[in-house]
Chain A
Amino acid sequence: MSSLSTRHKVELIAAGFISLFFIVIFPLLNAHGMVSDFTINLWGKYLCYALLAISVDLLWGYTGLLSLGQALFFSLGGYMMGMYLMRMIGDLGQYHKPIPDFLVFLGWTELPKFWKPFSSFPFAFSLILLLPGLLALVFGFLAFRSRIKGVYFSILTQALTYGASLMFFRNDMLMGGNNGFTDFKFILGHDLRSATTQRGLFIVTAIVLLLVYTSLRLLSHTKFGLVQRAIRDGENRVLFSGYATAHFKLFIFVIAALIASIGGALYVPQVGIINPSEMTPDKSLEAVVWCAVGGRGTLVGPIIGAISINSLKSWASRAAPDYWLVILGGLFVVVVLLLPGGIVSIPARLKSLWQRVTRQPSA
Chain B
Amino acid sequence: MLKVNQLMTAGALALGALASSVHAEDTVKVGVLHSLSGTMAISETSLRDVLLFTFDEINAKGGVLGKKIEPVVVDGASNWPLFAEKAKQLLEQDKVAVTFGCWTSVSRKSVLPVYEKNNGLLFYPVQYEGQEESQNVFYTAEAVNQQATPAIDYLLKQGYTKFYLIGTDYVYPQTTNLVLLEYLLSKGVALENIGGGFKKDDSGKIISAGKYTPFGHTDYQQIVAEIKQFSAGGKTAVVSTLNGDTNVPFFKEYAAAGLTADTAPVVSFSISEDEFRGLPAKQLVGQLGCWTYFQSIKSPANKAFVARFKKWLKTTTVPGIVKEDRVTCSPMVLSYDGVYLWKAAVEKAGSFDVDKVRAALKSGLSFDGPGGKVTTQPNMHLTKNVFIGETTAKGQFKILEEFKDVYGEPWLLGKFKAK
A169 and B75 form a contact (CB under 8 A) = no
Closest partner residue, chain B, to A182 (CB atom): B109
Q: Mark A302-317, 1 if CB is under 8 A from B, else 0.
A: 0000000000011001
Bound together, the chains give a CA A325 to CA B178 distance in angstroms of: 40
Bound together, the chains give a CA A37 to CA B92 distance in angstroms of: 8
B36 and A322 form a contact (CB under 8 A) = yes
Q: Let me know if A273 is at the binding interface, CB within 8 A.
A: yes
Bound together, the chains give a CA A170 to CA B109 distance in angstroms of: 18
B93 and A323 form a contact (CB under 8 A) = no
B93 and A179 form a contact (CB under 8 A) = no
- Contact segment of A4-12, A102-110, A122-130, A207-215: A102-110
Q: What residues of chain A lie closer than 8 Å to B206, measured between beta carbons?
A: 107
Q: Let me know if A94 is at the binding interface, CB within 8 A.
A: yes
Closest partner residue, chain B, to A39 (CB atom): B93
Chain B, range 187-236, C-beta contacts under 8 Å to A: 201, 205-208, 212, 214-215
Q: Let me know if A183 is at the binding interface, CB within 8 A.
A: yes
Closest partner residue, chain A, to B82 (CB atom): A317
Q: What residues of chain A lie closer than 8 Å to B169, measured between beta carbons?
A: 169-171, 177-178
B85 and A273 form a contact (CB under 8 A) = no
Q: What residues of chain B lie closer than 8 Å to A323, measured between beta carbons?
A: 319-320
B113 and A38 form a contact (CB under 8 A) = no
B81 and A278 form a contact (CB under 8 A) = yes
Contact status of A38 and B80, CB under 8 A, knowing A108-B201, A178-B169, A318-B74:
no
Q: Let me know if B86 is at the binding interface, CB within 8 A.
A: yes
Q: What residues of chain B lie closer than 8 Å to A271, measured between beta carbons?
A: 81, 84-85
Q: What residues of chain A lie closer than 8 Å to B205, measured between beta carbons?
A: 107
Q: What residues of chain B lie closer than 8 Å to A278, measured between beta carbons?
A: 81
B207 and A106 form a contact (CB under 8 A) = yes
A178 and B170 form a contact (CB under 8 A) = yes
> What total of chain A residues lie within 8 Å of the partner, measured CB to CB?
40
B88 and A193 form a contact (CB under 8 A) = no
Q: Of B36, B110, B201, which one neighbours A272 at CB under 8 angstroms?
A: B110
Closest partner residue, chain B, to A177 (CB atom): B170
A273 and B81 form a contact (CB under 8 A) = yes
Bound together, the chains give a CA A313 to CA B37 distance in angstroms of: 13
Q: Let me know if A42 is at the binding interface, CB within 8 A.
A: yes
Bound together, the chains give a CA A107 to CA B182 distance in angstroms of: 13
Q: Let me know if A36 is at the binding interface, CB within 8 A.
A: yes
Contact status of A272 and B114, CB under 8 A, knowing A166-B214, A171-B174, A322-B319:
yes
Q: Let me know if B105 is at the binding interface, CB within 8 A.
A: yes
A180 and B106 form a contact (CB under 8 A) = yes
Q: Mark B155-176, 1 if CB is under 8 A from A, else 0.
A: 0000000000000011100110
Q: What residues of chain B lie closer than 8 Å to A178, measured between beta carbons?
A: 105-106, 169-171, 215
Question: How many residue-residue contacts, CB under 8 A, span A and B?
Answer: 114
Bound together, the chains give a CA A195 to CA B174 distance in angstroms of: 36
Q: Let me know if B279 is at the binding interface, CB within 8 A.
A: no
A38 and B171 form a contact (CB under 8 A) = no
Bound together, the chains give a CA A321 to CA B72 distance in angstroms of: 10
Output the least CB separation between A264 and chain B (Å). Answer: 11
Q: Mark B11-27, 1 if CB is under 8 A from A, else 0.
A: 00000000000000000
Q: Of B77, B80, B131, B319, which one neighbours A105 at CB under 8 angstroms?
A: B131
Q: What residues of chain A lie closer than 8 Å to B112, measured between beta carbons?
A: 182-183
A105 and B175 form a contact (CB under 8 A) = yes
Bound together, the chains give a CA A271 to CA B86 distance in angstroms of: 11
B114 and A179 form a contact (CB under 8 A) = no
Q: Of B80, B82, B207, B214, which one neighbours A108 at CB under 8 angstroms?
A: B207
Q: Let me know if B73 is at the binding interface, CB within 8 A.
A: yes
Output the least CB separation between B200 and chain A (Å). Answer: 9
A273 and B171 form a contact (CB under 8 A) = no
Output the least CB separation between A4 and chain B (Å). Answer: 41
Q: What residues of chain A lie closer than 8 Å to B72, measured between beta carbons?
A: 318
Bound together, the chains give a CA A94 to CA B320 distance in angstroms of: 39
Bound together, the chains give a CA A46 to CA B44 distance in angstroms of: 27
Closest partner residue, chain A, to B178 (CB atom): A107
Output the least CB separation between B36 and chain A (Å). Answer: 5
A177 and B171 form a contact (CB under 8 A) = yes
Q: Let me know if B366 is at the binding interface, CB within 8 A.
A: no
Bound together, the chains give a CA A94 to CA B112 distance in angstroms of: 11
A272 and B113 form a contact (CB under 8 A) = yes
Bound together, the chains give a CA A109 to CA B92 distance in angstroms of: 38
B113 and A324 form a contact (CB under 8 A) = no
B215 and A169 form a contact (CB under 8 A) = yes
A-B contacts, 18 listed (Cβ < 8 Å): A42-B85, A45-B81, A107-B201, A169-B169, A169-B215, A171-B170, A178-B169, A178-B170, A179-B106, A179-B109, A179-B170, A273-B81, A273-B109, A314-B85, A317-B74, A317-B75, A317-B77, A321-B74
List chain B positions with a Cβ less than 8 A from chain A: 36-37, 72-75, 77, 79-82, 84-86, 88-89, 92-93, 105-106, 109-110, 112-114, 117, 131-132, 169-171, 174-175, 178, 201, 205-208, 212, 214-215, 318-320
- Beyond A177-B169, A321-B36, 9 additional contacts (C-beta under 8 Å) are A37-B92, A105-B171, A166-B214, A171-B174, A179-B105, A179-B106, A179-B109, A193-B113, A322-B36
9 closest A-B pairs by CB: A107-B207, A322-B320, A178-B170, A321-B75, A38-B92, A317-B75, A273-B110, A271-B81, A179-B106
